Amino acid sequence: MIRFDNVTKLYPNQNNAALHDLTLEVEKGEFVFLVGPSGSGKSTFLRLVLKEERPTSGRIRVAGKDLHRLSNWKVPQLRRRIGTVFQDFRLLPNKTVFENIAFALQVIGKSRRQIHRDVPAVIELVGLGGKEDRLPDQLSGGEQQRVAVARAFVNRPLILLADEPTGNLDPATSVGIMKLLDRINRTGTTVVMATHDQSIVDQMRKRVIELDQGHLVRDQSRGVYGYAR
């Protein structure tokens, strides 16, 4: 599903590479934690998958497509098959919960009937039933993140990328979000989650990929958070 071959990413103003000769593969349906200290390249990895950045060298394949050969006008199509959840939720502030989620369907031209069928279902799935008409600033952090997850999932994407989704949430709420992501993963969606949250990683015992200053230092099947020594 996601395949990196000798990928190096060097940002223009920096001396050290954000990612250094990274080779790894994520299979369909896997749940992968991406851990490492700040600046280790986790966010860069996710941005490369979305083609928000281009690698300085190396090859990236996502859902079978070579990103290098993907033309610019086809990139939106790629992104529709990838759901994203961020630490800062990234909801549209002037739209309600329903509209925020529906947005993901509207931009790909789904009909109103489809939208009114799919959106309520996913709202129930994330546990926000009854709050469809609230605006983001009327929701708690956990609720906003649920909306983000719902938006990411409503299109049944192949991959769900999460960049520190529990970063702004308290431990109890974080658990709720993780349960959600786990459920989504069980439906067959590949999940890659970058995180600092040690307890969650230790609890869930999924595959752990550890980066340190752009290098791959650990790739463990049922791993824990702890830094490699």
Q: Where do contacts with another protein occur on this chain (CB under 8 A)?
A: 50-52, 72-73, 75-82, 84, 90-94, 103-104, 106-109, 112, 151
Residue 168, CA distances (Å) to 42, 99, 143 in order? 17, 23, 12
Least separation in angstroms between CB 77 and another protein: 7
Least separation in angstroms between CB 36 and another protein: 23
Least separation in angstroms between CB 84 and another protein: 6
Could you give the CA distance from residue 39 to residue 4 in angstroms, rounded to a whole number? 19
Nearer to another protein, 112 or 117 (CB): 112
Least separation in angstroms between CB 93 and another protein: 8
Task: Tell me the sheet residues that pair with 152.
Answer: none
Nearer to another protein, 112 or 116 (CB): 112
Question: If we measure between CA atoms, which residue out of 174, 175, 180 comes closest to residue 160?
Answer: 180
Nearer to another protein, 78 or 200 (CB): 78
Beta strands 31-35; 190-194: pairing state: parallel
DSSP state of 107: T
Could you give the CA distance from residue 78 to residue 84 in angstroms, rounded to a whole number? 12
